[in-house]
Homo-oligomer: A and B are copies of this chain.
Amino acid sequence: VCDAARDEPRSRRARLRRERESRILDAAAKVIADKGYYQATVREIADLADVADGTIYNYFENKFDLLIGIMSRVAELERLPRELTEALETGAQSFFVAAFHDRMGRIRQGEEALKAILPQVFVHPDLREQFYRQYVVRIATRLEAYVQAQIEAGQIRPVDVPLTVRLVQSMFVGLLVLRILGDEVLRVAWDDVPEALAELVFDGLSARSRE
């Protein structure tokens, strides 16, 4: 009986905790994206998150752990949505358009986080591993299965599947990088990218294709 009332505060505590952790990660993503990981100081992140320096260490092991936290949160964005799964059943190109749309949207959403993480990805093995799995392998696997199936269905011509998929992957990664680098053409035409990409990938540039 005594502890009945405690349930409410416990959840309140938990909510407060989640909120605070989120505030810290937001602040970290912003500051690190702006200045780079090593130029960003924990102090500055704490200030922006409106907590004390020490508080950050109640939520994260150390400064680097903030990067991990940022990346993990981006990972949650990455769950495959229903519409995309449905598109897998339908025809080839519409799937691609849908998939591309999906990825472009995610890239835009997680841009700040990605900007914070990407430079360190090249440097830190752990982060690289995680990034690679999350942004390359996971999608590659799915694409490979898809391309293979479409080849068997006669929709896609026979190609070296893994290599081809890597090339498509490269485009995604490259688009991510160019966007982060601030390419104006891409920023302006971002919403047209999926269609253009699908056309490029399916029909190529050659005038003779598509008749």
Contacts and interface: CB of A to CB of B under 8 A. Distances in A.
Contact of A119 (B2, B123, B163): B123
Contact of A204 (B1, B115, B209): B209
Interface in A140-195: 147, 154-157, 159-160, 162-164, 166-167, 169-175, 177-178, 180-183, 185-186, 189, 192-193
16 contacts: A36-B123, A118-B119, A157-B205, A157-B210, A159-B200, A163-B196, A164-B196, A166-B189, A167-B175, A170-B172, A174-B174, A199-B204, A200-B204, A203-B206, A204-B209, A209-B210
A204 B203 contact: yes
Contact of A174 (B39, B172, B208): B172
Give the size category of A's interface with B. Answer: 35 or more
Contacts of A185: 162-163, 166
Interface string A118-138: 111111100010011000100
A39 to B, nearest CB: 7
Given A2-B2, A123-B39, A136-B178, A167 B204 contact: no
The oligomer's copy count stands at 4
A68 interface: no
Contacts of A203: 204, 206, 209
Contacts of A132: 181-183
A180 B201 CA distance: 24
A205 B123 contact: no
Given A171-B171, A181-B132, A156 B206 contact: yes
A57 B196 CA distance: 49
A121 B38 CA distance: 14
Nearest to A162: B185
B136 A196 contact: no
A35 to B, nearest CB: 7
A55 B178 CA distance: 37
Contacts of A123: 35-36, 39, 119
